[in-house]
Amino acid sequence: MDLNAPDIADLDHQLAHAQQDAQALVAGLSEELAAWRLAVNLWSIAECLDHIATANRVYLAAMTEPAIRARQQRRFRRGPATPGLLGGWFVRTLEPPVKPTTRMKAPRKIAPRVAPPLSDAVAALVASQNDVRVFLAACADLDLHSVRFPNPFIRGLRFSLASGLNVIAAHQRRHLWQAWRIRRAAENRAP
């Protein structure tokens, strides 16, 4: 598969960068800091990572069957893997910094586990990242812009595979940004 196409290489770079950012985030992080919350109703760093991993798995599960069908139907790449109009708007709403007007409550199916151990959350994130990158490599030759999958959260809404991959990348940036803010606040709090 051609990971050298600029749009595919960019998506792969975004995914690799998110994984590197997550590794930097947790470097030297204690379980106590990983579980610390800014407020009772807000997530911890470990919960942010667990949420990313869960969302990645749910999105990939929805995208896999349409990708398999597209390959069987020989729906190969005709243009760049850019999100559609609605998908592009959704990607932009996910981008950090998160504004109060773009805060959303996570759907129940991708809510993080409560207080997961940091090592479990990191392992889940790395595994899901690898799965997304494998999916991207395996599907790079498909027409990602036109192949649609059912949005796993909004009944009746369909996104292109390109939108889904861009949503995954933006969603990761959003919650890594959130987790970095939590880490800085935890490290700066009064003893």
Q: What are the residue boundaries of the structural domains of the chain, listed by start?
A: 6-188
Cα 163 from chain centroid (whole Å): 12
For the segment 11-24, the average pLDDT, to the nearest whole number, is 97
Strand partners, 76: 142
* In the predicted structure, residue 142 carries a pLDDT above the cut 80: yes
Q: Where are the beta strands (DSSP E) in 83-164?
A: 148-150, 158-160
Cβ 133 vs Cβ 15: under 8 Å: yes
Cα–Cα distance, 133 to 52 (Å, whole number): 14
What spatial distance separates the first Cα and last Cα of the chain, rounded to whole Å?
Answer: 52
Q: CA neighbours within 13 Å on the CB side: how many for 91?
A: 20
Which residues neighbour 144 within 8 Å (Cβ) at sequence distance 6 or greater?
Answer: 77, 81, 160, 161, 162, 165
**DSSP, res 75:** -
pTM over 0.85: yes
Confidence of residue 14 (pLDDT cuts 50, 70, 90): very high
Q: What is the pLDDT of residue 104?
A: 74
Grouping H, G, I as helix, E, B as strand and the rest as coil, residue 119 is helix
Q: Does domain 6-188 have CATH number 1.20.200.10?
A: no
> What pLDDT, in 10s, does the model give residues 79-97?
999 998 888 998 998 999 8
